[in-house]
Amino acid sequence: MKILYGIVGEGMGHATRSRVVVEHLLERGHELRIVVSGRAHSFLKDRLEGRLSLTIHEIEGLHLEMDEGGIDLLETVLSNLELAPMRLRHNLGVYREVAEDDFKPDLVVSDFESWAYLYARNHRIPVISIDNMQVLNRCSHTGVIEKGNLDFQVAKWSVRAKVPGAYHYLITSFFYPTITKKRTTFIPPILRPEILVAERKPGDHVLVYQTRAGSEALLPVLKTLPYEFYVYGLGREGTEDNVTLKGFSETGFINDLATAKAVVANAGFSLMGEAVHLHVPMLALPLDGQFEQELNARYLGALGYGSWTPKADADVLTRFIERTEQHEEALQAYESVDNSMTLACVDELIDCAVADVDRPNLLQSKNRGGWVRRRDRD
């Protein structure tokens, strides 16, 4: 089968999990074209370029402008508007290249990416959605999100508009609220191979991963605490009292995560899913303006796998670290699995699409939960 695979480039988690699915599809003998933007493009080229039956196209996508508190919404809008004409010209060129190259995909897979989705709609091709974002739109969050929360409603409508009318939605998640919409299935976090082979050996250090602007302000706070911290994401290396600053290293980071007493980081889904899989307690610091991160963090806290806070100070960090044994206890209830469940669901959906089967509401492959009719739920 010929598959067009769209991957959003804002945030590397989309690329790392898509790599897993793409490699599986190639092993199954499918021919793939990937369209991807941002840093995700170079990541996938480094790891996949040269593979048979695979072509990678770089497209232009939206990007986020950050300030000290998180996302600068005004600057994000203005910057994307300024670049819109150039991006449109570039993406139209890629569209013609794919459309006129006699590729003719039979199916589109979208990891929260609009270019491939629009291509599919224009050519009447089924779309399989694989991402963590649709949990905002296709599930009930009663008891976790207060009724009338405006930030949640805005985020939900934004996600709803992204990949509407897909053949099926696979939602990768470590928490499983009630699904309220048909053609929706939960799958566990999609994990890179390096995480799957990592061995959990709790040590004494706390891993800190910070990418937001202004995160330098956290260093003086860490130095006041009686713990050892390994800090990634600040772009420099060295030792300052009880704080070890580390440069980028995928192998080093995974080892430090697997052997950490706990982890402190933004509430992006990929790292959170890896921490939960490895049973590492986490303190999540959601970025302002990204309600998806706050939702992840709220469920993390509700399940007891960690804690969350909008801003970390010495008292918050101390209370969290002192409670790591309780979080570890709660994490023992989480069943860590490999990617086989997810890939079986992907294969089933492809087989259904090939057979021109009506869009399935429920999958036969083992999964983490699917849609149930309201009267059956009640």
309: CATH:
3.40.50.2000
**Positions of the chain with pLDDT lower than 50, given as ranges:** 62-67, 70-84, 87, 378
pLDDT at 62: 47
The Cα-based distances of 1 to 53, 108, 308, 352 in angstroms read 11, 11, 44, 12
pLDDT at 91: 52
- Do 167 and 220 sit in the same domain of this protein? no
pLDDT at 287: 87
pLDDT at 42: 85
Q: Is 2 helix (H, G, I), strand (E, B) or coil?
A: strand
- Do 216 and 70 sit in the same domain of this protein? no
- Do 35 and 175 sit in the same domain of this protein? yes
pLDDT at 72: 42
- Do 187 and 199 sit in the same domain of this protein? no
- Do 88 and 181 sit in the same domain of this protein? yes
Residue pair 32/26 in contact by the 8 Å Cβ criterion: yes
- Residues 6 or more apart from 359 whose CB is under 8 A from it? 126, 167, 168, 183
pLDDT at 101: 66
| pTM across the whole model | 0.89
- Residues 6 or more apart from 378 whose CB is under 8 A from it? none
Among the candidates 331, 346, 368, a domain finishes at 331
Domain limits for position 173: 2-191+338-377
pLDDT at 96: 57
- Do 171 and 24 sit in the same domain of this protein? yes
φ/ψ region of 109 (left if φ > 0, alpha if ψ in -120 to 50, else beta) reads beta
- Do 273 and 354 sit in the same domain of this protein? no
Other CB atoms within 10 Å distance of the CB of residue 61: 22
- Do 294 and 236 sit in the same domain of this protein? yes
- Do 370 and 221 sit in the same domain of this protein? no
Give the DSSP H/E element, type plus range, for residue 317: helix 314-322
CA distance 367 to 220: 45
Number of domains the chain is built from: 2
- Do 346 and 299 sit in the same domain of this protein? no
